[in-house]
Amino acid sequence: MKVIVTGGTGYIGSHTIVDLMEHGFEVVCIDNLSRSRKYALKGIEKITGKAPLFYPVDLCDKEATFEVISEHRDAVGIIHFAALKSVPESVVKPLEYYSNNIDSLLHILEAVNTYGIPHVVFSSSCSVYGNAEQLPVTESTPIKPAESPYAHTKQIGEDIIRNAAPAGQARYILLRYFNPIGAHPSSWIGEIPMDKPNNLVPFITQTATGKLPKLTVYGNDYPTRDSSCIRDYIHVCDIAHAHTLALQYLMAGKSETAVDIFNLGSGNGVSVLEAIHAFEKVSGQKLPYTLGERRAGDVVAVYADNTKAATLLDWHCQYTLEDAMLSAWNWELKMQELQGEF
């Protein structure tokens, strides 16, 4: 069983490749390495004993994209991760985000129809909900205006798939995941910030090692229990396994519609300050942090109702918030050992 994974050297992509390989899939990885490092392939091999077939291709290059997928038209599916994903960067560089995220998706969808790839799992995001009026959000929660260009590209991507699916034969699953954190328990792969971190947990771990002088909590006037943002933090390995289950669900013919949607979250809303304290507890490190202004593009609070994924995909979180924080800390320490390999 062959599956094509785009953005496969990225954070969630690399963990998903490990999960796929551990469940019997042969993986073809496509990534232009613009926001990831080739080291991920070595880490995958350390864990599974085998590296995926790798193509350093930019999906915005339609000809190169078609060439790769035509070579692997026997694939049972494509899992499409490849996209720019930083909320604050998208506010500063909106056109780059629209161009990259939409063009790459269009090329994948065209290739799916051209070469008859039967199943597609699309990497979406809880950011599509915007500032939801009711929490937790379900898959049928009304979509509010996007708070960032990044979130808007995910809304547009979902709309494109819904509109394109009836014109083709492929079946699609859109996975709206919340806030992935942590690293593989082996500490061979994890999140590798390319420059200054954009996500909370790398900020935390880099502050704990002294690489960053202090952590800034963006916003201390939100209408929440401790005035900081509330998010649904979920271990990256739980997110990864959901992609394997989603592909298996499609392959088994269980999807009753051309496009199906699943929330991937723990179901627990955790504030930024609570996440910091959870890290301090498991690591034994005291973090210096300051309270700053709100960051453009951030919603107040969002967390998931994951009943649908639990019921239909038989997907359940295996890791706690503390597990995720400890694995992230172990990965940060491992990265110090691996610096020469990046």
Query: Residue 340 pLDDT more than 80?
Result: no
User: What is the spatial distance between Cα 331 and Cα 321, in angstroms, rounded to a whole number?
Assistant: 15
150 counts as catalytic: yes
Sequence-distant (6+) residues with CB within 8 A of 29 are 5, 8, 9, 13, 17, 41, 52, 53, 54, 55
> Could you report the per-residue pLDDT of 282-304, keeping only the tens digit for each?
999 999 999 999 988 888 999 99
> Could you report the per-residue pLDDT of 207-219, keeping only the tens digit for each?
999 999 999 999 9
Query: Residue 35 pLDDT more than 90?
Result: yes
Please choose, from the candidates 96, 109, 222, the residue with its C-alpha nearest in 3D space to the C-alpha of residue 159.
109
Neighbours of 169 (CB within 10 A): 11
- Read off the pLDDT of each residue in 152-170 and give the average, rounded to a whole number: 97
Say which of 11, 97, 129, 150 is annotated catalytic.
150
Query: Residue 198 pLDDT more than 90?
Result: no
Residue 339: its pLDDT value, please? 84
Neighbour-count burial for 301-320, b at 16+ CB within 10 Å, e otherwise: bbbbbbebbeebbebebebb
Domain ranges of the chain: 2-181+233-265
Q: Are 308 and 138 in contact (CB under 8 A)?
A: yes
Please choose, from the candidates 279, 264, 267, 272, the residue with its C-alpha nearest in 3D space to the C-alpha of residue 294.
272
Judged by DSSP in three states, 246 sits in: helix
According to DSSP, the residues that pair with 26 across neighbouring strands are 2
> Could you report the per-residue pLDDT of 57-88, keeping only the tens digit for each?
999 999 999 999 999 999 999 999 999 999 99
Give the phi and the psi of residue 4 in degrees, each rounded to 5: -95, 130
User: Does the 2-181+233-265 domain belong in CATH 3.40.50.720?
Assistant: yes
Q: Model confidence at 341, in pLDDT bands (50, 70, 90)?
A: confident
> Could you report the per-residue pLDDT of 179-192, keeping only the tens digit for each?
999 999 999 999 99
**Residue 98 C-alpha from the chain's centroid:** 18
Residue 329 DSSP symbol:
H
Residue 109: its pLDDT value, please? 98
Q: Are 212 and 205 in contact (CB under 8 A)?
A: no
**Both tokens of residue 121?**
């799992």
Q: Are 121 and 158 in contact (CB under 8 A)?
A: no
> Could you report the per-residue pLDDT of 7-21, keeping only the tens digit for each?
999 999 999 999 999
pTM above 0.75, yes or no: yes
Mean residue pLDDT across the chain:
96
> Could you report the per-residue pLDDT of 95-141, keeping only the tens digit for each?
999 999 999 999 999 999 999 999 999 999 999 999 998 999 999 99
Question: What whole-number percentage of the chain has pLDDT above 90?
Answer: 94
Sequence-distant (6+) residues with CB within 8 A of 254 are 312
Give the phi and the psi of residue 267 in degrees, each rounded to 5: 90, 0
> Mutual orientation of helices 272-283 and 200-209 as an angle, nearest 10°?
40
